[in-house]
């Protein structure tokens, strides 16, 4: 009987090394997956931040320009229509030709390609609008915007890879080189204020996010005003009042299912019900708010219910004990005590609504909106939709704006989530 | 009077009536010898009186706003000359829009005198409607307020009636979830039925040719367009599969490591950081997939191609809108979803099972593989099903990173299209509700809704059933 010599402990010991190796391997897989997730996060954020910050800046060429009333065609400085309709392009063009010493047609064409003539004209117009009488006829220094392709090129100069030389011919590259070598009055890079103070534009150097930002704020306002009361009322009903019957079960099943319905389906609902049936105006924060309310309600209801559940029954019983009615118990005790949790859930739901895009696509919020909306029934776009719009634009300058808008959106979201975390840690009571 | 002004007035009026009702109850109580002679607290009498006028006035306002536009449109149609009343609904809508624009003061339009006349009458009707509304609402505010105020009597059970109203409000709010589901089902179903009248169901579900754009021109060959949705389904499945290949192993191993190996400190840092991935808007992922990941994949594969692959399988054709980029990014987005759901089910496995396994001498990984995972399997399957349904319904990533050409392929490097992408391309821009093209989007929506609903239903049932086992 040679088999008997191999005892169990020997068998175990024989395999032990192998088993420990398997153990190590298994742990390594776990660490690897976590590292993969975290690396993705880091990669995503470095990509977003590096691309986004680039979009906040722009290259300007300070030029001295004589505001010649004759070229502009302004005879009366008090007439606002004349100032609005004046010919700023010719003025700027003339000065640009002088700067680049362009005389022949071809040289002029090259020079025009380097400076954003219209956008610079708008700047002068804006100056004149405030104080035409004093400025007209004087020589002022204006930060002329370079063309968006030049800006693209300059930002990528010195990085690895081609900075986009294919956009320019040799003469233009030579001119850019001259501009860069200038000691004084050369190209400067500074914060693009237009990006934060204006709406969308067909020209990327003029485009800003203010209209989308305001649209997002209005959208959030509508969503909050509807989803917060309705969500809390539903949660209170289900936790405090609902009898255990088929109807209550039906409500609960519906809420759970709605939480997992793809957001684009809510867009179809909005399109068919709010736009086609009720005839609400397209592309407005009002309709967007309705749709997003329906979408965020499950989130708010589920977290509000958790918050109400966390209020200890002893508090309710004490209130009943001194003669409070059911509604008094709910309003005086349960809701105030559950409020921090409900607020946290609402903020998280709103953050979700802020970043949501698919349902808004369906109700026409992916639109070109240059004006800044002033009410919830004005056509407007929202930050994610603005990003999408700029992303779809083939112009290189817009892709950069999209990255910058992403950064703004992310900062907005981080602030909202930070608020939620703060509310949870500071206001929530543990029992 | 503008709507918002009317609304503010109603609110102000209700507040005034609240104060009046409350003070009347106090006066009555004083006459009787103190507040204890009242049935309810004074504030309930005030609230009761205010509710008496608030609810009817607000409902009237809402109904009026909802219907006055369509009524005015109907009247405007009556004003049109005979020959124009019999136009098709679309042309009529166009005509009404023109009238609307003239009435709204868009001066650039060349308005014919009769159109101008109709527009003037529409403006007149609007003003009349607004005046009547203000008059009715304000007079009913006063009348009902007075009625509510007169109802304040010491023996009146004000608290009970206020609480009943409150209850009805709560119930109404909670039924909104049901109405939403019903709304979704009906809006998707009706349009889909109209679509299947034009295109047979079998052609839609079994056809392999998808080219809805050809439906625009009537004189074109194949003018009815091709609505075979198989390429969309395979495209969706391909991308979801790639996403799952990334998300399931990573998410599951993360959950196992965090719940079985990691100490509290690591858990507290890693978990919220991974959750951040779930909080990033999908439009950002789409941007990332299209402009960062897709070019990276293209470059990487071109490098590979030059070195090895060209010898074995010939040149690779990597599309700039490959399914791979979208799938990878979607997978990363879903990782926290899988990991937090599996984390919950793994934590729900009772400690006694682990202890039993350790007692028999198994290592930690053996315990996980042979005891915990089998015990948590139903829950994990449920979590995966939920993740799949999320991947199928994901829109922005695929819209931004995947093309619109419907190709029947399983090659992840080619460009495919998905159900959600087609829905958005069919519905962006202006659309009429009559063309097969628009209705096709609703049919796709129906398919998407049914599939995700089915997946969620099963997943939730599995998770619930499993939870009950150990609780």
pLDDT of residue B433: 61
Chain mean pLDDT for chain B: 84
Q: Which residues of A touch B279 (CB under 8 A)?
A: 351, 355, 413, 417
Q: What is the ipTM of this complex?
A: 0.88
Among B2-16, B69-83, B91-105, B308-322, the least confident range: B308-322
Cα distances from A367 to residues A371, A398, A399, B284, B456, in angstroms, run: 11, 15, 17, 18, 33
Spatial CB neighbours of B358, under 8 Å, sequence gap ≥ 6: B367
pLDDT of residue A1: 46
pLDDT of residue A4: 59
Q: Can you tell me the mean pLDDT for A42-57? A: 89
Alpha-carbon distance of A65 to B62, in angstroms, equals 58
Q: Give which of B345, B383, B330, B353 is closest to B256, Cα–Cα.
A: B345
Spatial CB neighbours of B62, under 8 Å, sequence gap ≥ 6: none
Is the pLDDT reported for residue B128 higher than 50?
yes
In a domain, B50, yes or no: yes
With CB atoms and an 8 Å threshold, state whether B369 touches A406: no
Question: Is the dihedral angle over the CA atoms A286, A292, A298, A299 positive or is it negative?
Answer: negative
In a domain, B193, yes or no: no
- pLDDT tens-place string over residues B198-249: 888 888 888 888 877 654 555 555 455 678 888 899 999 999 999 999 999 9
Is residue B229 within 8 A of residue B207, CB to CB? The reply is yes
Judge if B146 and B223 occupy the same domain. Answer: no
Alpha-carbon distance of A278 to B69, in angstroms, equals 10
Alpha-carbon distance of A15 to A3, in angstroms, equals 17
Is the pLDDT reported for residue B116 higher than 80?
no
pLDDT of residue B172: 92
Structural domains of chain B, count: 2
In a domain, B444, yes or no: yes
Q: Which residues of A touch B394 (CB under 8 A)?
A: 262
With CB atoms and an 8 Å threshold, state whether A391 touches B166: no
Alpha-carbon distance of A357 to A349, in angstroms, equals 14
Among A33-47, B25-39, B219-233, the least confident range: B219-233
Parent domain of B125: 3-156
Alpha-carbon Rg for chain A in angstroms? 31
Which range, B30-44, B176-190, B454-468, is most confident?
A: B176-190
A140 by DSSP, 3-state: which? strand
Alpha-carbon distance of B354 to A183, in angstroms, equals 74
Is the pLDDT reported for residue A3 higher than 60?
no
Judge if B348 and B435 occupy the same domain. Answer: yes
In a domain, B119, yes or no: yes
Record the tokens describing residue A379, joined without a space.
Answer: 């056509």
Which of B72, B174, B362 is the mutation pick for testing A, counting most A CBs within 10 A?
B174
Judge if B136 and B215 occupy the same domain. Answer: no
Is the pLDDT reported for residue A161 higher than 90?
no
Tell me, what DSSP letter sits at residue A115? B
Judge if B377 and B300 occupy the same domain. Answer: yes
Q: Which residues of B touch A29 (CB under 8 A)?
A: 253
With CB atoms and an 8 Å threshold, state whether A34 touches B163: no
- pLDDT tens-place string over residues B34-85: 888 888 888 899 999 999 888 999 999 888 887 777 788 778 777 777 767 6
Alpha-carbon distance of B157 to B150, in angstroms, equals 14
Q: Can you tell me the mean pLDDT for A349-358? A: 92
Q: Can you tell me the mean pLDDT for B396-422? A: 84
Q: Give which of B384, B451, B418 is closest to B286, Cα–Cα.
A: B418
**Residue at token pair 């589920």:** A302
Judge if B347 and B460 occupy the same domain. Answer: yes
Which of A25, A37, A229, A234 is the mutation pick for testing B, counting most B CBs within 10 A?
A37
Record the tokens describing residue A241, joined without a space.
Answer: 């009042």
Record the tokens describing residue B347, joined without a space.
Answer: 């934590």
Closest residue of chain A to B454, computed from CA coordinates:
A257
pLDDT of residue A141: 82
Q: Can you tell me the mean pLDDT for B409-417? A: 80
Choose among B283, B427, B441: nearest Cβ to A387. B283
With CB atoms and an 8 Å threshold, state whether A258 touches B392: no
A342 by DSSP, 3-state: which? helix
Q: Which residues of B touch A44 (CB under 8 A)?
A: 277, 280, 284, 288, 332
Is residue A218 within 8 A of residue A380, CB to CB? The reply is yes
Residue B382 sits in a domain whose CATH number is 1.10.3720.10
Buried b / exposed e along B329-344 (16+ C-beta atoms within 10 A): bbbbbbbbbbbbbbbb
Spatial CB neighbours of A48, under 8 Å, sequence gap ≥ 6: A403, A406, A407, A410, B284, B288
Q: Give which of A430, A268, A93 is closest to B191, Cα–Cα.
A: A268
A61 by DSSP, 3-state: which? strand
In a domain, B381, yes or no: yes
Name the residue with higher pLDDT: A238 or A204.
A238
A190 by DSSP, 3-state: which? strand
CB pairs under 8 A between A and B: 248
Going from N- to C-terminal start, the domains of chain A cover: 57-191, 210-427
Is the pLDDT reported for residue B267 higher than 70?
yes
**Residue at token pair 């105020």:** B149
Q: Work out the number of other CB atoms within 10 angstroms of the CB of residue B237.
A: 17
Domain end residue (candidates: B110, B135, B156): B156
Task: With cut-offs at 50, 70 and 90, classify the pLDDT of residue A207.
Answer: confident
Record the tokens describing residue A4, joined without a space.
Answer: 């008997």
With CB atoms and an 8 Å threshold, state whether B253 touches A29: yes
Is residue B197 within 8 A of residue B435, CB to CB? The reply is no
Is residue B258 within 8 A of residue B270, CB to CB? The reply is yes
Which CATH architecture does the domain made up of A210-427 adopt? Answer: Orthogonal Bundle (1.10)
Q: Work out the number of other CB atoms within 10 angstroms of the CB of residue A159.
A: 8
Which of A269, A401, A404 is the mutation pick for testing B, counting most B CBs within 10 A?
A269
Name the residue with higher pLDDT: A379 or A319.
A319
Record the tokens describing residue A309, joined without a space.
Answer: 């559940």
In a domain, B420, yes or no: yes
Task: Report angle CA B238, B239, B240 to the nearest 5 degrees.
Answer: 95
pTM recorded for the entire structure = 0.87
Q: Work out the number of other CB atoms within 10 angstroms of the CB of residue B276.
A: 17
Measured distance between the N- and C-terminal CA atoms of chain A, rounded to whole angstroms? 68
Is the pLDDT reported for residue A358 higher than 70?
yes
Q: Which residues of A touch B284 (CB under 8 A)?
A: 44, 48, 355, 387, 406, 409-410
Task: With cut-offs at 50, 70 and 90, classify the pLDDT of residue A411.
Answer: very high
Judge if B124 and B234 occupy the same domain. Answer: no
Is the pLDDT reported for residue A414 higher than 70?
yes
Among A9-23, A95-109, B278-292, B435-449, the least confident range: A95-109
Which range, A120-124, A345-349, A397-401, B401-405, is most confident?
A: A345-349
Judge if B103 and B219 occupy the same domain. Answer: no
Task: With cut-offs at 50, 70 and 90, classify the pLDDT of residue B302.
Answer: confident
In a domain, B341, yes or no: yes
Judge if B253 and B391 occupy the same domain. Answer: yes
Choose among A26, A40, A261: nearest Cβ to B332. A40
In a domain, B131, yes or no: yes
Task: With cut-offs at 50, 70 and 90, classify the pLDDT of residue A186.
Answer: confident
B199 by DSSP, 3-state: which? coil
Is residue B187 within 8 A of residue B56, CB to CB? The reply is no
Alpha-carbon distance of B198 to A115, in angstroms, equals 55
- pLDDT tens-place string over residues B319-370: 667 888 999 999 999 999 999 989 988 988 889 999 999 999 899 999 999 9
With CB atoms and an 8 Å threshold, state whether B395 touches A263: yes
Choose among A230, A269, A384: nearest Cβ to B281. A384
Is the pLDDT reported for residue A77 higher than 80?
no
Closest residue of chain A to B457, computed from CA coordinates:
A257
Task: Report angle CA A198, A201, A203 to the nearest 5 degrees.
Answer: 120
Buried b / exposed e along B245-261 (16+ C-beta atoms within 10 A): ebbbbbbbbbbbbbbbb
């Amino acid at each position: 009987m040679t088999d008997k010599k191999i005892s169990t402990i020997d068998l175990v010991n024989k395999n032990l090394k192998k088993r420990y190796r398997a153990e190590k391997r298994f742990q390594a897989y776990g660490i690897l997956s976590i590292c993969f997730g975290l690396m993705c996060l880091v990669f995503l954020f470095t990509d977003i931040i590096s691309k986004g910050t680039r979009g906040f800046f722009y290259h300007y060429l300070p030029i001295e320009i004589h505001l010649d009333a004759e070229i502009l065609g302004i005879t009366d400085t008090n007439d606002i229509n004349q100032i609005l309709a004046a010919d700023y392009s010719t003025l700027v063009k003339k000065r640009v030709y002088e700067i680049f010493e362009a005389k022949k047609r071809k040289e002029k064409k090259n020079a025009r390609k380097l400076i954003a003539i219209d956008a610079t004209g708008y700047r002068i117009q804006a100056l004149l609008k405030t104080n035409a009488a004093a400025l007209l006829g004087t020589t002022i220094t204006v930060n002329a915007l370079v063309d968006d392709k030049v800006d693209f090129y300059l930002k990528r100069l010195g990085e690895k890879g081609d900075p986009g030389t294919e956009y320019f011919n040799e003469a233009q590259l030579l001119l850019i080189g001259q501009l860069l070598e200038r000691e004084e009055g050369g190209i400067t890079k500074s914060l693009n204020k237009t990006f934060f103070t204006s709406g969308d534009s067909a020209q990327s150097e003029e485009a800003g996010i203010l209209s989308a930002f305001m649209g997002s704020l209005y959208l959030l306002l509508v969503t909050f005003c509807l989803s917060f009361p309705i969500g809390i009322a539903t949660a209170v009903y289900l936790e405090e009042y609902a009898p255990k019957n088929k109807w209550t079960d039906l409500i609960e099943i519906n809420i759970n299912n709605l939480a997992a319905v793809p957001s684009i389906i809510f867009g179809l609902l909005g399109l068919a019900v709010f736009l086609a049936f009720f005839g609400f105006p397209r592309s407005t924060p009002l309709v967007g708010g309705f749709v997003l309310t329906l979408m965020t309600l499950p989130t708010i209801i589920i977290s509000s219910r958790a918050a109400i559940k966390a209020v200890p029954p002893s508090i309710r019983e004490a209130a009943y004990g001194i003669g409070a009615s059911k509604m008094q118990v709910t309003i005086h005790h349960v809701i105030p005590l559950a409020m921090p949790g409900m607020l946290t859930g609402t903020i998280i739901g709103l953050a979700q609504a802020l970043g949501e895009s698919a349902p808004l696509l369906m109700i026409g919020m992916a639109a070109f909106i240059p004006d800044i909306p002033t009410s919830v029934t004005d056509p407007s776009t929202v930050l994610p939709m603005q990003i999408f719009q700029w992303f779809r634009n083939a112009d290189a300058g817009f892709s950069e704006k999209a990255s910058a808008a992403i950064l703004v959106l992310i900062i907005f979201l981080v602030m909202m989530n930070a608020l939620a975390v703060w509310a949870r840690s500071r206001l929530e009571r543990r029992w | 009077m503008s709507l918002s002004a009317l609304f503010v007035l109603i609110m102000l009026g209700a507040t005034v009536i609240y104060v009046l009702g409350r003070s009347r109850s106090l006066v009555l109580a004083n006459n009787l010898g103190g507040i204890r002679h009242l049935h309810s607290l004074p504030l309930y009498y005030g609230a009761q009186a205010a509710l008496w006028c608030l609810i009817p006035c607000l409902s009237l306002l809402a109904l009026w706003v909802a219907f006055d536009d369509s009524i005015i449109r109907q009247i405007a149609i009556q004003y049109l000359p005979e020959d124009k009343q019999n136009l098709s609904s679309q042309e009529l809508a166009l005509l009404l829009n023109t009238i609307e624009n003239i009435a709204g003061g868009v001066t650039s339009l060349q308005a014919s005198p009769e159109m101008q006349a109709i527009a003037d009458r529409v403006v007149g009707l609007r003003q009349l409607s607004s005046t009547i509304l203000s008059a009715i609402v304000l007079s009913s505010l006063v009348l009902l307020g007075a009625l509510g105020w007169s109802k304040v009597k010491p023996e009146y059970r004000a608290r009970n009636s206020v609480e009943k109203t409150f209850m009805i409000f709560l119930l109404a709010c909670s039924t909104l979830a049901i109405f939403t589901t019903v709304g979704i089902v009906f809006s998707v179903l009706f349009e889909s039925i109209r679509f299947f009248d034009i295109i047979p169901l079998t052609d839609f579900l079994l056809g392999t040719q998808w080219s809805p754009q050809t439906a625009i021109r009537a004189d074109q060959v194949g003018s009815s367009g091709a609505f075979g949705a198989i390429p969309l389904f395979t495209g969706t499945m391909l991308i979801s599969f790639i996403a799952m290949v990334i998300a399931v192993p990573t998410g599951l191993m993360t959950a196992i490591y965090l719940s079985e190996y990691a100490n509290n400190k690591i858990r507290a840092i890693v978990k919220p950081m991974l959750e951040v991935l779930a909080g990033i808007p999908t439009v950002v992922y789409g941007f990332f997939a299209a402009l960062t990941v897709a070019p990276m994949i293209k470059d990487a594969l071109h490098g590979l191609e030059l070195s090895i692959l060209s010898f074995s399988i010939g040149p690779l054709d990597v599309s700039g809108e490959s399914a791979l980029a979208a799938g990878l990014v979607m997978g990363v987005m879903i990782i926290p979803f899988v990991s937090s759901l599996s984390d919950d089910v793994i934590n729900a496995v009772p400690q006694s099972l682990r202890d039993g396994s350790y007692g028999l001498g198994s290592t930690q990984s053996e315990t996980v593989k042979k005891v915990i995972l089998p015990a948590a399997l139903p829950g994990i399957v449920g979590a995966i099903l939920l993740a799949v349904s999320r991947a199928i319904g994901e829109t922005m990533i695929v819209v931004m990173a995947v093309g619109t050409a419907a190709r029947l392929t399983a090659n992840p490097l080619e460009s495919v299209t998905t159900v959600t992408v087609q829905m958005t391309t069919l519905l962006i821009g202006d659309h009429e509700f009559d063309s097969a093209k628009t209705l096709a989007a609703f049919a796709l929506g129906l398919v998407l809704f049914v599939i995700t609903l089915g997946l969620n239903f099963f997943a939730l049932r599995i998770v619930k059933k499993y939870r009950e086992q150990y609780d």
